[in-house]
Structure 1
Amino acid sequence: MTTTYSGPARLILADGACISGMASLSTNQRGGIDGWGGTFRPDEITTDLRDATEGLQLELPYDRLGTVAVTGMRKLLATQLLMSLSGRGPAPF
């Protein structure tokens, strides 16, 4: 069974700074391994965001939080960044 979420989200950095954007997430339940992850496209790109890898949380609507780690980043356009995320613990969606 696969569960997905696509919509607004906020990435909360280790220092408490919040970055709004759009998330596309899914759960992965194959072979007894539970996990979740996906991508996050921030509305703005900051130096702190580029350096962020650990100690992050992703907040979805209705105050649902999940702990995430950044597993990759790539530029989409001159002003857009796509971050790959790996979730830890229960999925917030």
Structure 2
Amino acid sequence: MTTTYSGPARLILADGARISGMISLSTNHRGGLNGWGGTFRPDQVTTDLRNAAEGLQLELPYDRVGAVAVTGMRKLLATQLLISLAGQGPAPF
């Protein structure tokens, strides 16, 4: 199993809405902690996305899905947003 993934992905909101974008993920095996996370840059920014926090899933190519939680959001440009995510459960990559 790989320890990183960068490429296309979709963030699935709690209401089932799918937001396409690009993701950069990695696993974390430091200090005895097994986890994964990274950043997601959505193609479009919506109010629902800005308010998203719980019940989220990340869908990678080949129908790989993992549960995630938003740990932060940062504006990149006037129309772009960078979302920090922490994975829950096994990494889907």
TM-score, normalised on structure 2?
Answer: 0.97
| CA deviation profile, 1:5-26 (whole Å, cap 9, x unmatched) | 0000000000000000000000
More strand by share: 1
* 5+ long unaligned stretches in structure 2: none
State the identity %. 85
Look up the equivalent residue of 1:88 and give its one-letter code.
Answer: Q
Shift of 1:32: 1.8
Match of 2:37 in 1: 37
CA distance in 2, matches of 1:83, 1:30: 22
Shift of 1:31: 2.4
Query: Are residues 1:13 and 2:13 paired?
Result: yes
Look up the equivalent residue of 1:16 and give its one-letter code.
Answer: G
Look up the equivalent residue of 2:66 and give its one-letter code.
Answer: G
What is the CA RMSD across the aligned residues, in angstroms? Answer: 0.9
* 5+ long unaligned stretches in structure 1: none
Match of 2:56 in 1: 56
Query: Are residues 1:28 and 2:2 paired?
Result: no
Give the 4+ runs in structure 1 shifted more than 4 A: none
TM-score, normalised on structure 1?
Answer: 0.97
